[in-house]
Structure 1
Amino acid sequence: AASIVSQNKQLCTPASVDSIVSSNGQEDHVSMAANAATKAYRVVQNLERLLAIEFMTAAQALSFRRPALTSPYLEELLAAYRQRVPVLEDDRVLSDDLQATMQFLREREVMPDKNLQIQEA
């Protein structure tokens, strides 16, 4: 995850810093919009992967707390997630879990309703 964040920092450097002279300084407008859009798209893809990694990590951390429970909303979200991605109990390649987590986050409204009343313990 740290390397993805580092890459995003590099990608967020303004595209215009890599502009070159193309008309000897006369009316020398070099649009870097296509490059900037490509970089922005890559940042969004990286962010999606980062959020999935964070979600996987949080879900695994909550499983270590069992039998203690979290909020009803998070328990419902975790139950739906665990139908797709099982708890990590033994070593396994996590790329499939990462892809499944990204798909889960794309398909599900993760944030609760803004009008939801959260009860304090």
Structure 2
Amino acid sequence: MQIPALKPGYGRVYFTRPGELTGSAIQPEIRLNNEVVSRSVPGGFSYVDRPPGKYAVTTATEVENAVTFQLAAGETKYIKTTVTPGILVGHVTPTLEFPEQGQSDINRLRYVGPKF
């Protein structure tokens, strides 16, 4: 799959969920500053391009989890979502990933975002 080049003045945020057997039915929405931008899909990745600024990524099942970061023009961030056991349903937690690990994950995952 060919991912389009980043437009000048924007940054890119990737959302990854490396494959796991536990919690595969749990696929909550991923929100970026309260806007639904993707779902946390096992073995998948997606991305959005946004202008520079401060962002919060949230996921919610029976609890809401969040990670915040600053995005600069030309910068790429990688947000990994993982499932941990909960009382009624697993919790999906977003974490900021090191670029090398994030890129390595993307190379092994399938694209699950909107079609270009």
TM-score (norm 2): 0.26
TM-score (norm 1): 0.25
Relative contact order (C-alpha < 8 Å, sep 6+): which is higher? Answer: 2
Between structure 1 and structure 2, the one with the greater Rg is: 1
More strand by share: 2
